[in-house]
Structure 1
Amino acid sequence: MGIEQPRASRHDEIDAIVESKAGGVTPTRDDADKYTVVGATSRRTFSNWLTPIEEHFVCHRNDMPAIDADSWTVSLTGEFEGALSMAAIKHEYPTVAVAHTMECAGNGRGQHRPETGSVQWGFEAAGTAFWTGTPVSTILRDHDVDAAAGRWLTAVGGDPSDGDDVFARSIPLSKALDDCILAYEMNGQPLPREHGYPVRLLVPGWYGVNSVKWLEELRVMDSMVVEGALERPGTHADWQQRAYRIHPRGTEPEVHETVETGDTWEQLEGAVDSPYTFDSNVMSVIGSPDGESPVARSESVVEVRGVAWAGDDEVERIEVSTDGGAQWHDAELYGPSYAGAWRLFRYDWRAQPGTHTLVSRATDELGRRQPARISDPDDWREALETDAFPWNEGGYAANAYEPNRVEVVVRSE
């Protein structure tokens, strides 16, 4: 399949993105040479609420398409018909701005031992931006689509594949009607090419793979995308039914036409075999101190700052440990509070001279807390019950707090 093949052109694309972002991002290790991947250069990115475009991660598999925005259209297919020009998307429907924490489903993959997947992300594949665009609900209802029960919206990207696979992702129609938008601006600027220019689907609170870039088609269906579901050549279901599925080693995921929940954690608890990466799991990252230089203790307290998020759910609690997880202390959530976007947290630490390991862990409103580690490959079924996240063959949806570690040397001035 095309999604398994290396892509030589990615290196030039990465170099151009790094240059355009002026050092705010850096390439991420991808031994299989399949993806264009850059992540935030500095941990301090995660001590601020808004992520500048220059520091926002990028991840995609195919080459970026050549774009003529004046002639670009989004086809409406399946249970509705038509086509939307960019002018219609921008000017014939309401405009909204959505705060959204975009996280790659492979974020944290580098925790897995043995290694899995191709892109060895640490924690750097996440960022929060304001996305401006048109509510999907207004477009659907304008075309007499408003009954969500049991139906799905499939988005197809216009990025060309090296193989015969079509980049298509399906989300429940109920989610599309709730809060999704067709985004054409990012932080008040025209959507950058590497982020999906001229338009992408934006699915708040869900892993980035669902927010299809270079959007070319929206299709209302009675099921998720399966092979042969689209009226176009090539294979249709790889990116929904095979890639981005969470499963043990050596398992071939079963194809589902529908599932009852988009909550990834609920699927992991047994609702779906080989869960789909939809709603983001609870996660946190310490941004400051950044661990890159010693902390000069000019005062008696060092402020620890970071971010925490939980997809469609709210972050209920954030804890910080300064001794590698032996003891935990409640931190304070503060700053902007938007559905689908991360929260800032801070903790006043009375630091003593020496080397300290800082760790954060978040708990969502449903009581689900970041686990301490990734399980062994053979411990899939017991993982969540033993404070571990299941090792999985693709390395998806990992949220153990281990990668948020910062080694800090405190010195007195």
Structure 2
Amino acid sequence: MPTERPRDTRHREIDAIVEAKAGGVAETRDEADKYTVLGAASRRTFANWLTPIEEHFVCHRNDIPDADADAWTVSLTGGLKGTLSMTDIREKYPTVAVAHTMECAGNGRGQHRPETGSVQWDCEAAATAFWTGTPVSLILREYGVTESEGQWLTTVGGDPSDGDDIFARSIPLEKALDDCVLAYEMNGEPLPREHGYPVRLIVPGWYGVNNVKWVEELRVMDSMVTEGSLERPGEHAYWQQRSYRIYPSGSEPDENETVETYDTWTQLEGAVEYPYTFDANVMSLIGAPSGESPAEVRPDESLKVRGVAWAGDDGVDRVEVSTDGGETWDDAELFGPDYAGAWRLFRYDWDTRLGRHTLLSRATDDLGRRQPSRISDPDVWRDALENDEYPWNEGGYAANAYEPNGVDVEVRARDGRDVGE
């Protein structure tokens, strides 16, 4: 099992990233003092479609490797045989850019009661960026991979562990052939070190853990990664088969070589006993007003509510906004860019009144699945979704309840008078 010892270099690394990102991110608590975790410093990040690099969350568990792009290679193994240099990746294949809403699978973990372990994210670990690189499909097909049925692509990260574990994640080969990219640029700039320089796997619409940083190996396999399935020493399967799975307190998930569905919500409904975190559940966040300061309006002036909503591999069909803590709901308008795997903007013009209000948003995907209202108690499991709750789980993964993400807003008159004057 991977070690959870504090990293001596962690705080220096965090300080350097915060400085480089000019205050766009802030540190989030990690119980074990093991991970580097930085989330958006302001809710205002979620009022815009494109997330600046300075505001994009950061999460990794080991030290950033001291990578030299000129010397870096990606090994092709399993059903593949070969090696790619960064020059190969950049120049041998056509270049594409994909929009991707990346959300940490642990986003919302800090909203679980009782608290679970690890990084205590609230809602700050989500972002949308453009990632430029080489389609994985072109590489795989050049090396003879044309059929995807029943096969998996395992990606191994090159970040050095302080234990015996290897960071390896498997995704279905059909997803890899569909829209995945080996990225070397982010928002039109060279890929930053903390985001995976020199090359990172991008899996549009899927939780961040699948988007392996510092890629050093791609392996085509007949199953997901299991213990001992890689031709290298160390522990192979922890980050696929134990961590980043959704299970109730006291459970011990068994290894699976494959699953029939990759849709996280469908797995939660019973398709997989202890679901894997692949594509992101339907989710929304209000970015403005942020609640960080009073909102000021003139008489008869509406207040503009803005936010973002996403649904992994699925589309966002509807966003509703409540300005009274969930008593009543109105439809918001979806607008702006509409890319598969990326969030949509929504807006709602609120004819407000002075005073204090709780704003909520809830999204529904194009399969009719709507965000639940709250996170359940630990003793509720399969019945949670039927009760309009998201199931409390040991790892705090894939939470998408809307009540914990509400925004408390004080509305004042623009002329400076306090409420009640």
Give the TM-score band, short-chain normalised. over 0.9
What amino acid sits opposite 2:302 in the alignment?
V
Alignment of 1:313 with 2:311, yes or no, is: no
What amino acid sits opposite 1:354 in the alignment?
G
CA distance in 1, matches of 2:289, 2:105: 26
Q: CA deviation at 1:3?
A: 4.2
Show the 5 A alignment for 1:11-410: 11-298=11-298, 299-410=300-411
Q: CA deviation at 1:403?
A: 2.9
CA distance in 1, matches of 2:15, 2:262: 36
What amino acid sits opposite 2:50 in the alignment?
L
Q: CA deviation at 1:4?
A: 3.0
TM-score by length of 1: 0.99
Residue identity over aligned pairs, in percent, reads: 76
| Deviations 1:316-340, CA, capped at 9 Å, x for gaps | 0000000111111100000000000
| Deviations 1:32-64, CA, capped at 9 Å, x for gaps | 212100000011000000000000000011111
CA distance in 1, matches of 2:38, 2:249: 27
> Contact 2:45/2:51 (CA < 8 Å) preserved in 1?
yes
Name the SS of the counterpart of 1:220 in structure 2.
strand
> Contact 2:323/2:359 (CA < 8 Å) preserved in 1?
yes
CA distance in 1, matches of 2:404, 2:284: 10
Name the SS of the counterpart of 2:371 in structure 1.
coil
CA distance in 2, matches of 1:132, 1:117: 34
CA distance in 1, matches of 2:85, 2:340: 29
> Contact 1:184/1:190 (CA < 8 Å) preserved in 2?
yes
What amino acid sits opposite 1:403 in the alignment?
P
**Match for residue 9 of structure 1?**
9
**Match for residue 418 of structure 2?**
none
CA distance in 1, matches of 2:355, 2:190: 47
| Deviations 1:118-171, CA, capped at 9 Å, x for gaps | 111111000000000000000000001010000000000000001000000000
TM-score by length of 2: 0.97
CA distance in 2, matches of 1:393, 1:404: 20
Q: CA deviation at 1:29?
A: 1.1
Q: Which runs of 5+ in 2 are unaligned?
A: 416-421
CA distance in 2, matches of 1:381, 1:267: 11
What amino acid sits opposite 2:152 in the alignment?
W
> Contact 2:25/2:57 (CA < 8 Å) preserved in 1?
yes
**What is the alpha-carbon root mean square deviation over aligned residues?**
0.7
CA distance in 1, matches of 2:30, 2:104: 14
What amino acid sits opposite 1:40 in the alignment?
A
What amino acid sits opposite 1:147 in the alignment?
E
Q: Report the more deviating stretch, 182-191 or 109-118.
A: 109-118
> Contact 1:3/1:61 (CA < 8 Å) preserved in 2?
no
What amino acid sits opposite 2:155 in the alignment?
A
> Contact 1:289/1:408 (CA < 8 Å) preserved in 2?
yes
> Contact 1:334/1:345 (CA < 8 Å) preserved in 2?
yes
| Deviations 1:185-242, CA, capped at 9 Å, x for gaps | 0000000000000001100000000000000000000000001111111000010001
What amino acid sits opposite 2:122 in the alignment?
G
CA distance in 1, matches of 2:48, 2:64: 29
CA distance in 1, matches of 2:7, 2:226: 25
> Contact 1:268/1:275 (CA < 8 Å) preserved in 2?
yes
CA distance in 1, matches of 2:76, 2:336: 39
CA distance in 1, matches of 2:291, 2:98: 32
Q: CA deviation at 1:406?
A: 1.0
Name the SS of the counterpart of 2:156 in structure 1.
strand
> Contact 2:288/2:306 (CA < 8 Å) preserved in 1?
yes
CA distance in 1, matches of 2:278, 2:96: 23
Name the SS of the counterpart of 1:4 in structure 2.
coil
> Contact 1:25/1:38 (CA < 8 Å) preserved in 2?
yes
| Deviations 1:2-31, CA, capped at 9 Å, x for gaps | 343332321111111101100000000112
CA distance in 1, matches of 2:403, 2:111: 8
Count of residues in Structure 1 that have an aligned counterpart in Structure 2:
413
Name the SS of the counterpart of 1:185 in structure 2.
strand
CA distance in 2, matches of 1:6, 1:273: 33
Q: CA deviation at 1:254?
A: 1.1
| Deviations 1:273-296, CA, capped at 9 Å, x for gaps | 110000000000000001011111
Name the SS of the counterpart of 1:360 in structure 2.
strand
Name the SS of the counterpart of 2:318 in structure 1.
strand
Name the SS of the counterpart of 1:286 in structure 2.
strand
Q: Which runs of 5+ in 1 are unaligned?
A: none
Note closer, same or farther for the CA distance 1:250–1:4 as it changes in structure 2 (3 Å cut): farther
